[in-house]
Amino acid sequence: MADEPQPIRVLLVEDNDVFRQALILLLELQDGIEVVAAIPDGTAAVNAYREHRPDVVVMDFRLPGMDGVETTLALVDEYPEVAVVCLTASASPRELDALMAAGAIDHPAVGRGIAYLVAAQGADGFWNEPRYTATGFPRVFYLRYHGYAKYFPVWAMARYRNLKRANSPSVAYGM
């Protein structure tokens, strides 16, 4: 009789308690997935990885203290074989930059993000961002930060071009 396949062992890193519990339930409903730890911050995630050595880390980008990118970089420095799946509720050039900073230049999400930025650039050279782009107080005030429409997309595309030209997972200097 063949050995039973081992479950995929997942370390979940998410600071929102409700979302973390929902992800645990969803992941554990899947055959062959075991959540070995669910952690709310980056520092604890590094320690949990050392303890559990999961097959994959499911990581939120925005974490208190050490964010998802810093946590991923810390894990990659210590464990180059680590597999990290990043989660984020937002989709902006800043998250694209974060993926590239973490060494994911060849990840399909980076390619799709760059393709979107190229296609979405307006005739005026900017990217239309009709939504509020920064934290405010609902029904009191909202913020629109001009950097989302003008600078962040250019910076993300410059980093992508430079990484591809250098054929390296990290930028030697500048963007």
Q: Where are the domains of the chain?
A: 1-89, 91-175
Looking at the predicted structure, is the pLDDT value of residue 49 above 80?
yes
pLDDT value of position 41:
94
102-104-108-110 Cα dihedral, nearest 10 degrees: 50
31-37-43-46 Cα dihedral, nearest 10 degrees: -60
Q: For residue range 56-108, what is the model confidence (pLDDT) as tens digits?
A: 999 988 888 888 888 988 998 899 889 888 876 656 677 778 778 777 788 77
pLDDT value of position 146:
66
Looking at the predicted structure, is the pLDDT value of residue 52 above 90?
yes
Residues 51/77, Cβ–Cβ less than 8 Å: no
Name, in order, each residue with C-beta under 8 angstroms of 39's C-beta and a sequence gap of 6 or more.
11, 12, 13, 45, 48
pLDDT value of position 40:
95
Domain 1-89 has CATH 3.40.50.2300: yes
Q: For residue range 122-157, what is the model confidence (pLDDT) as tens digits?
A: 888 887 766 555 555 555 555 566 666 777 888 888
Name, in order, each residue with C-beta under 8 angstroms of 5's C-beta and a sequence gap of 6 or more.
32
Mean pLDDT of all residues in 45-49: 97
Separation between Cα atoms, residue 107 and residue 110, nearest integer Å: 5
93-96-97-99 Cα dihedral, nearest 10 degrees: 160
